[in-house]
Structure 1
Amino acid sequence: MSYRIVIDSCGELTEEMKKSGRFTSAPLTLQVDEHTVVDDETFDQADFLKRVAASPNCPKSSCPSPEAYRDAFDCGVDHAYAVTLSAELSGSYNSAMLGKNLYLEQQPEAKVYVFNSRSASVGETLIGLKIQECEEAGMSFEQVVETVEAYIAGQNTWFVLENLETLRKNGRLSTVKAMVASALKIKPVMGATPEGTIIQLGQARGINRAVMQMVELTAAKVERPEEKILAVSHCNCPERAKMVKDALAQKAGFKDIIVLDTAGVSSMYANDGGVIVVV
């Protein structure tokens, strides 16, 4: 069976995923003041981060249109899937569902499914790889959906941010809390609930301590790491990502480890110096 996996641009694609022909990205649009950026292969992370740092306003994102998703599904394959940013954080999931319905109006027999990642960034990457694994194993469309939904339910996301400004600007962190945290160099260790909302799991003074606390939380939570892929994404801090990768590889023997630089939407949320871990 032929298949296509559409991942919104909050999910990073590995080089292998790009070359496989199985994956395509549905780009979101980012806005910093009057400057608009399409989150595709033209995204310039350094320029974007500079603009975000210079602006008093919160950067905004716009999800792909339903028509963009419909067109991505309409590619002559037997099975089409979409993986979107958590529905609690973005309208991308709802847009993909509308796109699916538009496509089914044209092709009522088509097999299309939209996965709400309940995560972001490399969480979406891992879900895309899971779909590919299931398809390559010869599962039916219904088996793929069931298996991947169970995988999403068992997935965990953690992150540590060097810079809390975007969270403060978009109202996810109070100004007072952000100022106190900044003055005391306190870095929160954040995670995602099963529904895909952001929660604070801990905190530490200094980014390296917070990162190591995230490593400890991850290692303690993961069961049967030898069966799982660990994914790490970072916003402009490859050394920090390597520290996380090496520490977790030492604590738990994962089947594989993927390290990726954040694309546009993830760069907007993580901000300069942020690290995200999903397993």
Structure 2
Amino acid sequence: MKVAVVVDSTSYLPTNILEKYDIYTIPLNVITNDEVYKENEIDNSWYYEQMAGSDELPTTSQPSIGDYILLLESLYRDGYTDVLSFHLSKEISGTYQSAISASTSVEDINVHVVDSQLSCAPLGFLALYAAQNKNVKPLEALLDDLEDMRQKENLNAYFLVDNLTNLQKGGRLSNAQAMIGGLLKIKPILEFIDGKIVAVEKIRTQKKAMSKIEAKLAEDFQVHKGKKITACLIHANAPSLAESYIEELREKFEDVTFILQEFGPVIGTHLGEGAIGIGYTVYDIDVSDF
């Protein structure tokens, strides 16, 4: 048995990690100024400039089934018998369903498609755990671990956006929620609930919203006191804010390992520039190379 790990590009795992652990990426696409780009092939800074200067919000699309089939056929030729394939929540993207459809088109390779019910860092944590354990644990035991790991109490994330405009335009939140956000000038805290993006708190200022996220994290972490917790702060073209905030979090949660990442074009499009998120897992993963 030879197991490959595949994750879609919204995990935003750095290149050195993908290469070290032989993690394969299937990219989503962004469409701006009538041009289609695979999100792992364009520079984040360039893209955020394009988005800021565009009159219309860029759009995003899932990987084509054809691209996924080509990847699976390549893995089969390389001797892989099984594929663990991780994707952002099926409630906000058709990527998961594309993976399911592609898996039925390639014979002689077993594809195990996992709906993370989240995106970004938590999605990457699932893929990283699988890659670090695929040669250590039997496949069935690893699949059981992954099913448990993706449960909300073991893998969760909070997001803070500057406003709800992009989410509303992209159809990821209701018009009513977006209208309320605009009228009140709030800083919404978002969470994935049953795979859907939900505004769980509506705070008036960014500072108060960040403090509220810290309080939520403190409550979550207390439940898992004594476990090795890994968390990621991820930002949308807001490095100064992210670097300042992560230092605060490291001081407050000394027993938690924090890493820093940036939202790529797909998720950055929907959350908007200036958004930040914090995802964490209580499963043991090695992030020393980040």
TM-score range, shorter chain: 0.7 to 0.9
Shift of 1:93: 0.1
Task: Report the RMSD for the aligned CA atoms in angstroms.
Answer: 2.3
Q: With the length of structure 1 as denominator, give the TM-score of the two structures.
A: 0.88
Unpaired runs of 5+ residues, structure 2, are 281-290
Aligned residue number for residue 64 of structure 1: 63
Change (3 A) 1:26 1:163: same
Shift of 1:116: 0.4
For residue 162 of structure 1, give the secondary structure of its aligned residue in structure 2.
coil
**AA partner of residue 146 (structure 1):** D
State the aligned residue count: 272
Change (3 A) 1:175 1:197: closer
Aligned residue number for residue 30 of structure 2: 30
Q: Deviations over 1:121-163 (max 9, x none)?
A: 1121111111123224x11111111101110013111100124
Change (3 A) 1:54 1:182: farther
Aligned residue number for residue 197 of structure 1: 196
Change (3 A) 1:146 1:102: same
How far apart, in 1, do the equivalents of 2:177 and 2:195 lie? 22
Change (3 A) 1:80 1:180: closer
- Match status 1:140 vs 2:138: yes
Q: With the length of structure 2 as denominator, give the TM-score of the two structures.
A: 0.84
Aligned residue number for residue 8 of structure 1: 8
Q: Deviations over 1:81-108 (max 9, x none)?
A: 11111000000000011111112xx21x
How far apart, in 1, do the equivalents of 2:25 and 2:11 lie? 8
Shift of 1:166: 0.8
Retained in 2: the 8 A contact 1:233–1:241?
yes
Retained in 2: the 8 A contact 1:57–1:169?
no
Retained in 2: the 8 A contact 1:118–1:196?
yes
From 75, 84, 88, the counterpart of 1:85:
88
Change (3 A) 1:212 1:80: same
Shifted more, 196-205 versus 241-250: the winner is 241-250
Retained in 1: the 8 A contact 2:92–2:172?
no
For residue 102 of structure 1, give the secondary structure of its aligned residue in structure 2.
coil
Shift of 1:234: 0.8
In the TM superposition, structure 1's runs of 4+ consecutive aligned residues that sit over 3 Å from their partners are: 53-58, 171-185
Unpaired runs of 5+ residues, structure 1, are none
Aligned residue number for residue 274 of structure 2: 273
